[in-house]
């Protein structure tokens, strides 16, 4: 069975492709190497995947309908995991046009061409950020959506477009809302990597909201195991699924765990709350457990330990030292 993964050079896409290949699928990877952060790191991820059997990669922008159509005609994928998007919260306020063009228009192009080419399963990776700030926890899939930034608003828009378009078709549409994904090969703007980078350089680390943000962390390998298990689950009524550990923790309690495994502390400066960010994420995963038998989410200490070890080994090559992120 052939699977198309958009955004395969990205953090989650990289891990998802590895998981799919391990399970025996043929995988077509697609990415445009956007400039949100240096393409050097993305190309390195892809180079590792290309060493594996049954992986094919094409550099394609989802705004290019002709190129997408050619890809479908050549490879004939039966399943799509649509992960490609313009990431970043702060940058979305400065450049909303890029988010609309890449996230919304790109999704529409992919959706039309996929349906025209008789796709069987279309799996869209949305985000827990679509919920916005809440007073009642844990957050269920039926909770109201009040996104706080352009990135989250485009994810909400894509969800609606896909639901409306595929509603009266035989396509198996599933929409996943992952909560705060972390792990090895993470984006350089993610908090664990930023903190480790500042620590290694003995630089000041800004801790926003005085470290009182609460996050429901999900280890990337857990996420990818769950995503691939849904392939064998046929069309269901509950086509929007939270993916989360349901174990919320304050950011300021995370940093000492990183310090423990890193044997070094960063210079931390407390900063106020930043606009566009959720104060607390705490998802309800009962619907997930209804469909997927997932014994145990990776303990946050184990996930951090793996991430710290990867960062320190990987960064001996200084690859992440020169990766600039747009803000």
- Indicate which residues carry an active-site annotation: 151
CA distances from 181 to 71, 201, 303 (A): 29, 25, 11
3-state secondary structure (DSSP) of residue 290: helix
- Helix (H) or strand (E) holding 48, with range, is helix 39-50
Positive or negative: CA dihedral 204, 205, 209, 210: negative
Using DSSP bridges, classify how beta strands 267-271 and 204-208 pair: parallel, antiparallel or unpaired: parallel
Q: Which residues contact 264 (CB under 8 A, 6 or more apart)?
A: 199, 200
CA atoms within 13 A on the CB side of 132: 11
Taking only Cα atoms into account, the Rg of the chain, rounded to an integer number of angstroms, comes to 19
- Residue in the structure block whose two tokens are 């595929």: 166
Asked whether 154 and 127 are in contact (CB, 8 A), the reply is no
């Amino acid at each position: 069975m052939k699977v198309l993964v958009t955004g395969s050079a990205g953090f989650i896409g990289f891990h998802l492709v590895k998981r799919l290949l391990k399970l025996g699928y043929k995988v077509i990877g697609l990415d445009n190497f956007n400039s949100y952060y240096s393409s050097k790191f993305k190309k390195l991820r892809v180079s590792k995947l290309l060493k594996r059997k049954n992986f094919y990669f094409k550099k394609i922008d989802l705004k290019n309908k002709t190129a997408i159509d050619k890809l479908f005609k050549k490879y004939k994928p039966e399943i799509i995991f649509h992960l490609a998007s313009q990431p970043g919260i702060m940058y979305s306020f400065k450049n909303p046009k890029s988010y609309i063009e890449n996230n919304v228009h790109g999704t529409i192009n992919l959706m039309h061409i996929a349906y025209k080419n008789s796709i069987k399963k279309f799996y869209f990776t949305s985000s827990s950020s679509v919920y916005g700030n809440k007073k009642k926890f844990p957050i269920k899939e039926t909770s109201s959506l009040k996104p706080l930034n352009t990135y989250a608003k485009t994810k909400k828009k894509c969800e609606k477009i896909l639901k409306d378009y595929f509603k009266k078709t035989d396509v198996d549409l599933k929409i996943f809302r992952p909560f705060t994904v972390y792990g090895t090969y993470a984006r350089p703007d993610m908090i664990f990597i930023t903190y480790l980078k500042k620590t290694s350089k003995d630089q000041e680390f800004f801790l926003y909201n005085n470290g009182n943000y609460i996050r429901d962390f999900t280890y990337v390998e857990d996420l990818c195991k769950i995503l691939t298990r849904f392939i064998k689950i046929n069309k269901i009524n509950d086509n929007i699924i939270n993916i989360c550990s349901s174990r919320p923790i304050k950011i300021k309690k995370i940093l000492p765990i990183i310090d423990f495994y890193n044997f070094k502390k960063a210079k931390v400066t407390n900063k106020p709350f930043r606009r566009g960010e959720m104060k607390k994420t705490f998802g309800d995963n009962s619907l997930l457990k209804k469909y997927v038998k997932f014994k145990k989410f990776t303990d946050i200490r184990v996930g951090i330990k793996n991430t710290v070890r990867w960062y320190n080994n990987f960064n001996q090559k200084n690859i992440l030292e020169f990766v600039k992120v747009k803000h």
